[in-house]
Amino acid sequence: MERDITENNLIEDADVFADIVNVNLFDGDNEITEKDIRSMPTVSSYKDLDGTLHKQIRDVLKLVYNLGGCIALIGCESQQDVNRIMPVRDMGYTYTAYMKQIQDITAGNRKNKNSAYTKVLHEDQKLMPVATFILYFGDEKWEKPLTLMDMLDIPEDKTDFWKQLINDYPIRVISVADQPETVRDKYKSDFRIIADYMALRNNKIKVKQYFKNNDQELIHVEHVLDLLHALSGDSRFGFIRQRYEEMEEAEKGENRKMCLLLDAIEEEGFEKGMKQGIKQGIGQTMDIIAERMLKAHEPIQKILEYTGMSPNELKKLKE
């Protein structure tokens, strides 16, 4: 749940959403800007043709103006694991979005006493296009399912036969960890930090060097730190986020670059005991940090809160 929330918080930011769409759907061309985007409710309900009420929850849904000459609905679903039913889920999201439009139009017809409502839609009443992409943050390679056909129990030698009878439904999966540097270079928003981290996350030395030297000016500092914390499981990102939140506004303005932010945190008195731990990178263990904090005479409660240790564990370490 935490990762869902933190992923969606950053993606929900209009500039980040536009950046992800432009890079992954339009090869980096600026097809949309944050000014073209309006957030839409992610919880929707509708009645199907037989009157049954349905409810559906999406991760992120945006109304995008002037995309390909249209007003369109663009949704994003974030995933940490390969979802074996995603093509059907995607179909459900698309169906819901179109059915909601049909209901709104027919309700308007009914209210305005437009006789066309008896035909459901009038000839000149058109629907907005709906598209969805899946932003995948997992480690396992997402090979299948990428289409509805991947989910069906069809003999391999009968695939062509069934393709003539059913409508296949492909999905668009963006595997963030697999994006090469040539693609990551196209990101202009804070999402560049996330994409780079995902690509480097298995090499602790490169991760350390990357954050130490990164001078990108961040816009959504808290959202970036929250997501790094959730993706890495490293509590230091959570601590840095907390210390950033406690900074004075003027100090925040001076520390929007990751490298400067880390420097500012290290300079604080609390960091005297963990300075070497941060410098040695993401792979440092909590017991080593606790030892250094003890040597720096940091308050016991702060050590317990930061490291997640129990009092007994800390007591053994002191002995």
- The pLDDT score that the predictor gives to residue 117 is 57
pLDDT at 46 over 80: no
- The pLDDT score that the predictor gives to residue 26 is 94
pTM over 0.85: no
Instruction: Report pLDDT digits (tens) over 175-215.
Output: 999 999 999 999 999 999 999 999 998 888 888 888 888 88
Q: Classify residue 296 by burial, with Cβ atoms within 10 Å: 0-12, 13-18, 19+.
A: middle
Task: Give the residue with greater pLDDT, 75 vs 285.
Answer: 75
Instruction: Report pLDDT digits (tens) over 146-171.
Output: 999 999 999 989 999 999 999 999 99
- The pLDDT score that the predictor gives to residue 271 is 45
Mean pLDDT of 113-120: 65
What DSSP assignment string belongs to the chain? Answer: -HHHHHHHHHHHSHHHHHHHHHHHHSTT-----GGGEEE--SEEEEE-TT--EEEEE-SEEEEEEEETTEEEEEEEEEESS--TTHHHHHHHHHHHHHHHHHHHHHHHHHHTT-GGGGGSS-TT--PPPEEEEEEE--SS---S-SBGGGGS---GGGHHHHHTTS---B--EEEGGG--HHHHTT--STHHHHHHHHHHTT-HHHHHHHHHH--PBPS-HHHHHHHHHHHH--HHHHHHHHHHHHS-HHHHHH--BHHHHHHHHHHSGGGGGTHHHHHT-TT--HHHHHHHHHHTT--HHHHHHHH---HHHHHHHH-
What share of the chain has pLDDT > 90, as a percent? Answer: 43
Instruction: Report pLDDT digits (tens) over 226-285.
Output: 888 888 887 778 777 877 777 777 777 767 777 777 666 555 434 444 444 444 443 345
What share of the chain has pLDDT > 70, as a percent? Answer: 78
**Pick from 38, 27, 146, 133: which is nearest to 85 by CA?**
146
